[in-house]
Structure 1
Amino acid sequence: MSKIIAGHFQLQDEIDQARDALIAEGFPERDISAFFVNPPGQHDTFELGGDRDKSPGAKESDVGLAKGVATGSAVGAVVGAVTAPVTGPLGAVVGALVGGHVGSLYSFSHMKEAGEPEQGSIANQVQQRPAGMMIGVAVAPGDEQRAAAILRSVGAHHVEQAEGTITEGDWKDFNPLSLPVPAG
């Protein structure tokens, strides 16, 4: 593994310019890797797609739903029992069913909105890697600042550092879900 300095760009022409600048400054072409980074959530890490096996926003939905159904059923059963002289013996059962349904709907009001980060999540604390074109270069110790300066000079939007392996132009162990560490 070696230190990798990477820059983010929006256009392929900018990547080509960055590659030419790195090569002109003596970085071997085999140590340079360029590729597109998909937006968060679209990396197809799992067979059914996506980056995680469970949706972070849905991890507590079953508990909330159960609480809503239980509360609604209890309230509905009490209302049904009180109205039993009018509704007959099925009043409590129908009341529990209707109450359970209403309670389950009420539990949805406590779910987070689409795109809203979870409380205390890493997404609230650290900027995720942006989508777009990315170029990385494996550097020898002491060349980190020089590589970062080259990428910034040709217009890199974000410059980050990582540990990894680039072999013949392929960053084999790049993890799109890792948190970016800004280069110094």
Structure 2
Amino acid sequence: MSRILAGHFQLQDEVDAARAALIQAGFPDSRISAFFVNQPGQHDLHELGGDRDMSPGAKETPEGIAEGAAVGAAVGAGVGAAAVLVTGPIGPVVGALVGAHVGSLYSLNKMKGAGESEEVEPGEGSPHENLRRPRQPGMLIAVALDGVADREKALATLHELGARNIEEAEGTIVNGDWQDFDPLSIPVLVA
């Protein structure tokens, strides 16, 4: 496993020019990998499509729905019992509608994480994981580095060519293939 620098480009021609420039800078072609990164959610990592079994923001959904249903049932029963004296047989219907509405509001409040600041830096396992910035789609060219001198040389080359969102990672590039690339990993951007 080695350090890898990767830069994003929009066009295939830009990636071809970056590959040529990296080779000219002394990097072997076998340690350079170029490929297209799909939009978030379109990496087809699961049999039925998508990237995850469950959205990071939906982890508390089952509990929120259960609590919302319980609150809604209690409110609905109270409203229905009170309304039956005034409205007759329509009272339970009104009670059910009011209870469903209150329950949905309660469960939405639970799922949203009321009172939590959204300024917290998101990370894997964080309650704010759904706020993390995903890897941008587009062409990506990556180069495996041998040391600090390689890092500076590759970084300067990518900057000169106008690479966007230059990121640093650890991984393995063999014969031009970044074998352990994870499109869902949080990119560590380099200035």
TM-score w.r.t. structure 1 length? Answer: 0.81
Q: Residues 46 and 179 (structure 1 numbering): CA distance in 2 closer, same or farther, change over 3 Å?
A: same
**What is the CA-CA distance between 1:93 and the residue it aligns to?**
5.2
The answer for the alignment partner of 1:128 in structure 2 is 134
Q: Residues 137 and 77 (structure 1 numbering): CA distance in 2 closer, same or farther, change over 3 Å?
A: same
The answer for the alignment partner of 1:165 in structure 2 is 172
Deviations 1:112-143 (A, max 9, x none): 5xxxxx77433588643211110011121131
The AA in structure 2 aligned to 1:68 is G
Please say if residues 3 and 138 of structure 1, whose CA atoms lie closer than 8 Å, have aligned partners that are also in contact: yes
The AA in structure 1 aligned to 2:153 is R
The AA in structure 1 aligned to 2:15 is I
| CA distance in 2 between partners of 1:73 and 1:85 (Å) | 19
| CA distance in 1 between partners of 2:184 and 2:10 (Å) | 19
**What is the CA-CA distance between 1:32 and the residue it aligns to?**
0.7
Please say if residues 64 and 108 of structure 2, whose CA atoms lie closer than 8 Å, have aligned partners that are also in contact: no
Q: Which runs of 5+ in 2 are unaligned?
A: 113-117, 124-128
The AA in structure 2 aligned to 1:160 is E
| CA distance in 2 between partners of 1:70 and 1:91 (Å) | 22
**What is the CA-CA distance between 1:80 and the residue it aligns to?**
2.4
Task: Report sequence identity in percent.
Answer: 53
Range with bigger deviation, 69-78 or 138-147? 69-78
Q: What are the equivalent positions in structure 2 for 1:136-155 lying under 5 Å apart?
A: 136-142=142-148, 143-155=150-162
> What is the RMSD of the two structures over their aligned residues, measured on CA atoms?
2.8
The answer for the alignment partner of 2:126 in structure 1 is none
**What is the CA-CA distance between 1:170 and the residue it aligns to?**
0.7
Q: Residues 52 and 124 (structure 1 numbering): CA distance in 2 closer, same or farther, change over 3 Å?
A: closer
TM-score w.r.t. structure 2 length? Answer: 0.79
The answer for the alignment partner of 2:49 in structure 1 is 49
Asked if 1:65 is matched to 2:65, the reply is: yes
The answer for the alignment partner of 2:115 in structure 1 is none
The AA in structure 2 aligned to 1:57 is G
Instruction: Give the SS at the match of 1:158.
Output: strand
Please say if residues 7 and 151 of structure 1, whose CA atoms lie closer than 8 Å, have aligned partners that are also in contact: yes
